[in-house]
Amino acid sequence: MSFFKDKVVIVTGSTQGIGKSIAQKLVERGAKVTINGRNGQKLEQTQGLLTGIGHEVLPVQGDISLMEDCQRLVEATLEQHGRVDILITNAGINMLGKVAESDPEYLKKVMDVNFFGCLFPFKAAFDALKASEGNFLMVGSIAGFHGLPMNTMYSASKMALTALAQGLRTELAPHNITVGHAYVGMTEVEPGKTVLDTQGNPVPKPKFQIKPEPIENVSTRILKMVEKGTFQQVFTPMGKVNYVMSRLFPSVVQAVLKRNFKRVEEDVEGEK
């Protein structure tokens, strides 16, 4: 029997990409899944896809950077199923460009979605997770190992998740709530995927210069972390190298970033 059979799982940011793949694998394994996203049309389409597999899916539209929407997300799940066993926070946005040239509203938005978009759903689900002695997993990024120029706010928001995961791991141990943090590397994106420019306008996501990891592989590894109760895992060989280098040789990493900054700047500016 699957570990996830009849488990009640909330997955944020689950209308596309990694989150959508996680939700699909969960319903295939017999879980009762609550999906979430801001776009109502995408949410409806995802619900149709997943229920077509033949399993129970609850769609709850909302912005996970707002505490009231997170409370509504959890309340709807509790009303439907009576408990929450697993919370996976996956929603996130990216912003490219120089911080000094960026609109403060959108600098804040990146932190609101990527950091508080993990913290607020957890806050809303805490009592339910305590009752079920459940599992809370945050989908982070290898971009959180070292501040990346032209991607500074995204790096900062993902780096903040490390401290959050470490602190919660200790705080939640007495309640038998398992905490996990997945450092995801460069992953395939769906057609039409966008990021924000310095003024908050959606622009095409730059093409990867190295081969990205398939979404299916990433979602499978994330669910394996949940099943095993793994606290931390770094994805992709490049991610593992970056992890070691940033911890042991941060000055070398900084020197490489400085040397390549002009090229990175041109790549980002070229996407506008």
154 among known catalytic residues: yes
Conformation bin of residue 53: beta by default, left when phi > 0, alpha when psi is -120 to 50: alpha
Q: Judge whether 65 and 117 are in contact, CB under 8 Å.
A: yes
The count of residues in the chain is: 272
| 246 membership: H or E segment, kind and range | helix 237-248
Strands (E) located in 71-230: 86-89, 135-141, 178-184, 194-196, 202-204
CA distance 42 to 145: 32
**CA-to-CA distance for 73 and 79, rounded, in angstroms?**
10
DSSP 8-state assignment for residue 173? G
- Helix, strand, coil shares of the chain as percentages rounded to 5? 55, 15, 30
Distance (Å) of CA 212 to CA 44, 90, 93, 198, 259: 28, 18, 18, 25, 24
Closest CA to 253 of 178, 143, 170: 143
Q: Of these residues, 106, 154, 183, 243, which one is catalytic?
A: 154
Tokens encoding 175: 């309640």
CA dist 53 and 21 (Å) reads 13
Query: Active-site residue numbers?
Result: 154
